[in-house]
């Protein structure tokens, strides 16, 4: 009787970088875990981090491509943002409670 070798269950995609359009409300790590599960990947990591309340491009390195993350992390990025003048929150972002506000007319005077 011959020894039958069992096939290894490997990645369903090769090593490389994929780009995910991260939705609002999810952390970068939650996206990592989702990709890991869906693609049956053991080793991956995101390149940069996006706040949970923000959406945008989240590059994810898979397999051997994770070795390139340190070389990519410090590169220039461009962000598009919307700001609200006249309000301040205790967290300095939209997730916090408003601790100070100024009327729109007062803003126009200054």
- Residues annotated as catalytic are 51
Compute the 3-state secondary structure of the chain and give helix, strand, coil in percent, each to the nearest 5: 25, 20, 55
Using an 8 Å Cβ cutoff, are 99 and 89 in contact? yes
Phi, psi of 56 (to 5 degrees): 155, -175
Residue 95: beta bridge partners?
A: none
**Number of other residues whose CB lies within 10 A of the CB of residue 12:** 9
């Amino acid at each position: 009787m011959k020894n039958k070798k069992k096939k290894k269950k490997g990645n369903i995609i090769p090593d490389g970088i994929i780009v995910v359009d991260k939705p609002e409300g999810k952390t970068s790590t939650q996206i990592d875990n989702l990709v890991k599960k869906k693609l049956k990947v053991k080793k991956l990591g995101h390149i940069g981090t996006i706040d949970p309340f923000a959406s945008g491009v989240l590059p994810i390195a898979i397999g051997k491509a994770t070795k390139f993350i340190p070389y990519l992390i410090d590169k220039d990025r461009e962000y598009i943002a919307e700001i609200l003048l006249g309000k301040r929150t205790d967290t300095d972002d939209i997730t916090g409670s408003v601790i100070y506000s100024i009327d729109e007319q007062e803003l126009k005077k200054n």
